[in-house]
Chains A and B, each alone.
Chain A
Amino acid sequence: MTDSPHTNRSTPKPNEAPKAAGIHPPDQSEIMIRVEGLRFQYGQRVALQDLTLSVARGELFGLLGPNGSGKTTFFRILSTALRPAAGTAAIDGHDLVQNPAAARHRLGVAFQSPSLDGKLSVEENLRYHAYLYGMRGAAMRRRTTVLLERFDLDSRRRERVETLSGGLKRRVELAKALLPKPPLLLLDEPSSGLDPAARLEFWKILDEMRSDEGLTVVVATHSMDEAERCDRIALLDRGRLVVVDTPEALKKEIGGGFLTLHANTDAHALAASIGEQMGIQAAVANGRLRLEAADGLAVAARLMEAFSDRIRSITLGGPTLEDVFLAKTGRRLYSDGGAP
């Protein structure tokens, strides 16, 4: 991924307070989203606290965090579906609470469960959505045609949405969100439920739309692949912002080598044995062992020697965003086995 002009490249020192890293893009005049001291609670449970960050115009910004991290709450506040308990949030200078109508005019939202009417055709879904934004007539038809072609939905325009596959529905949802030409697009878990080919297709179209229309995109995700695509990502954990930076900077900061082990037998038992015999902490996630080692090759050789019968494979690589999350929070991004 190439460096974005909007991202903060200064690599923070390890002991620095986490939030010092890249909360705001350098050019303050080009801010699309500004969030300050945002807080939300469901009854007594605090879902989001003291969230401050901003997103630059044209940026692809990721919200990464496990379930319960506050990611979805933040997403819903940005989409104006929830009102914050405290703090402010503004889109293109329009406060979400003071002037929701103006903010909504600048906002396209593609929901995780598509907000489509299955009984209506693709075209009808788009038409009635356009009306909600005050769009009609020739201008609306032109925009619809452009989007249907771009999303390769032209041949499906008269088909009822309920008959479409999940991937196609997701594309219709995206076309619908982009119909009123919003400068900001919010995407909630865009690739959940999509097969790899559909995922690639989805991101290809989105990249095209970004370069064509200078779209700012905020994507809430728990997928590493998606987070890696972002210009900057915000890591959220238990309702708090952990860090904001580029994926590269985040990974570089924790540095080191990482070994991924496929166990032949019980992964947890192997992790325990490695801890006992070699004094190395191994985390188990998705049925695999992950351990940090500055001198990865030597450690890999020692592991193979000691546990050759219990290890199917060892992969040596750099840190992933999952490692970053673990290092920053002491918690795993995915609960064991729960990864997509």
Chain B
Amino acid sequence: MTVEAGALRLPLVVWSLLAREWLRFLRQRNRIIGALGTPIVFWVVFGSGFGRSFRPPGLAEGMDYLAYFYPGMLLLVLLFTSIFASISIIEDRNTGFLQGVLVAPVPRLAIVLGKVLGGATLGFIQGALLLPLAPLAGIALNFGQVIAICGQMFLIAVTLSSIGFLFAWRTDSVQGFHAVMNLLLFPMWLLSGAFFPASGASIWIQAVMAVNPLAYGLAALRRVMYPPEIVANLGLVGMAPAMIVLAATTAIALALAVLVVRKSEA
């Protein structure tokens, strides 16, 4: 009997959980429609509806709001998927599936990675599918930019998925998770600069934005997407600090998730 030992087992376990996550997603049509449809609706309504009439203070001269909102919309797709992925842990626990995983001889890191990467890859692909819409928002992307944006989106997806996992692990009902979503995850998006730039906001909102890891992820996305003259006017943090904060947040969230899973055993 082929039984993988040691180092080979971790990828196999991660793959097991990740592949299952994908199969589940593809077999629930509502989830596909919901995850793809929501941002598009947002985009059409916000962008074309009041996009022309709504100009948040602080928006750079000569910049269309649609172009401003586009990366925020990508972020929203990533957020939605990570929420769905996190809710699936609660489901796994309530349906009993999780107990079978927990008593299997699998490293707890593999459980976290499997679930987090499952959600993150789903979110990432959905985000990538929306990249062809960029020209409609007046954003022209070359191949190099697309690659860079994909890398950033993946990192953001992993961060959001890990944060979702962290909160969902201890939550025993989907209703309970909605509180986390409304009080934490959605405001994180709203105050990331996705909707309006920090420069036009009040001091305390600027302060919240300064500690919001999503704001750094979004700043990194904007720096890649926009031409330099627009970036210069947006007052964004530098690329290096943005990426460092994003990567550090991902690492911390993942580490905390593993810690929480290990602790729940004790």
> Taking beta carbons and an 8 Å cutoff, which residues of A are in contact with B?
79-81, 83, 100-102, 104-105, 107, 109, 111, 113-120, 124, 128-129, 131-140, 143, 176, 181
Known contacts A113-B96, A139-B1; 17 further A-B pairs (Cβ under 8 A): A79-B103, A81-B99, A101-B105, A102-B105, A109-B100, A111-B99, A116-B97, A117-B24, A120-B23, A128-B17, A129-B104, A131-B15, A132-B13, A133-B104, A134-B8, A139-B3, A181-B1
Q: A109-B100, A134-B9 are in contact. Are A120 and B20 (CB under 8 A)?
A: yes
Q: List 8 A-B contacts (CB under 8 A).
A: A81-B103, A83-B265, A120-B23, A120-B24, A128-B19, A131-B15, A137-B2, A140-B2
Q: How far is the CA of A110 from the CA of B182 in the complex (A)?
A: 37
Once the chains bind, are B103 and A104 in contact (CB under 8 Å)? yes
> In the complex, what residues of B have CB within 8 A of residue A129's CB?
16, 100, 104
Determine the residue in chain B with the shortest Cβ distance to A140. B2
Interface size of B in residues (CB-CB distance below 8 Å): 33
* Per-position binary interface string of chain B over residues 1-28, scored 1 when its CB falls under 8 Å from any chain A CB and 0 otherwise: 1111100110011011101100110011
Which 10 residue pairs of A and B lie closest in terms of their CB atoms, listed nearest first? A115-B100, A131-B16, A104-B105, A134-B4, A132-B104, A139-B1, A113-B96, A139-B2, A128-B16, A105-B105
Instruction: Check B95 for interface membership: any CB of A closer than 8 A.
Output: yes
Q: How far is the CA of A148 from the CA of B17 in the complex (A)?
A: 22
Q: How far is the CA of A67 from the CA of B114 in the complex (A)?
A: 36
Once the chains bind, are A132 and B2 in contact (CB under 8 Å)? no
Instruction: Check B244 for interface membership: any CB of A closer than 8 A.
Output: no
> In the complex, what residues of B have CB within 8 A of residue A101's CB?
105, 107
Once the chains bind, are A134 and B103 in contact (CB under 8 Å)? no
Once the chains bind, are A135 and B2 in contact (CB under 8 Å)? yes
Instruction: Check B45 for interface membership: any CB of A closer than 8 A.
Output: no
Instruction: Check B101 for interface membership: any CB of A closer than 8 A.
Output: yes
Q: Which of A115, A134, A140, A143 has the most CB of B within 10 A?
A: A134
Instruction: Check B129 for interface membership: any CB of A closer than 8 A.
Output: no
What's the nearest-Cβ distance from chain B to residue A261, in Å?
41
What's the nearest-Cβ distance from chain B to residue A160, in Å?
8
Determine the residue in chain B with the shortest Cβ distance to A117. B97
Instruction: Check B44 for interface membership: any CB of A closer than 8 A.
Output: no
> In the complex, what residues of A have CB within 8 A of residue B1's CB?
135, 139, 143, 181
> In the complex, what residues of A have CB within 8 A of residue B103's CB?
79-81, 104, 107, 109
> In the complex, what residues of A have CB within 8 A of residue B12's CB?
131, 134, 136
Determine the residue in chain B with the shortest Cβ distance to A177. B100
Q: A119-B24, A119-B27, A143-B1 are in contact. Are A131 and B100 (CB under 8 A)?
A: no
Instruction: Check B255 for interface membership: any CB of A closer than 8 A.
Output: no
What's the nearest-Cβ distance from chain A to residue B258, in Å?
15
What's the nearest-Cβ distance from chain A to residue B84, in Å?
14
Instruction: Check B33 for interface membership: any CB of A closer than 8 A.
Output: no
> In the complex, what residues of A have CB within 8 A of residue B99's CB?
81, 109, 111, 115
Q: How far is the CA of A129 from the CA of B12 in the complex (A)?
A: 11
Determine the residue in chain B with the shortest Cβ distance to A118. B95
Q: How far is the CA of A149 from the CA of B19 in the complex (A)?
A: 26
* Per-position binary interface string of chain B over residues 236-266, scored 1 when its CB falls under 8 Å from any chain A CB and 0 otherwise: 0000000000000000000000000000011
Determine the residue in chain A with the shortest Cβ distance to B12. A131
Once the chains bind, are A124 and B104 in contact (CB under 8 Å)? no
Q: How far is the CA of A69 from the CA of B77 in the complex (A)?
A: 49
Determine the residue in chain A with the shortest Cβ distance to B24. A119
Instruction: Check B106 for interface membership: any CB of A closer than 8 A.
Output: yes
> In the complex, what residues of A have CB within 8 A of residue B100's CB?
109, 111, 115-116, 129, 176
Determine the residue in chain A with the shortest Cβ distance to B107. A101
Determine the residue in chain B with the shortest Cβ distance to A130. B16
Q: How far is the CA of A181 from the CA of B2 in the complex (A)?
A: 12
Q: How far is the CA of A80 from the CA of B13 in the complex (A)?
A: 19
Once the chains bind, are A132 and B3 in contact (CB under 8 Å)? no
Once the chains bind, are A134 and B24 in contact (CB under 8 Å)? no
> In the complex, what residues of B have CB within 8 A of residue A113's CB?
95-96
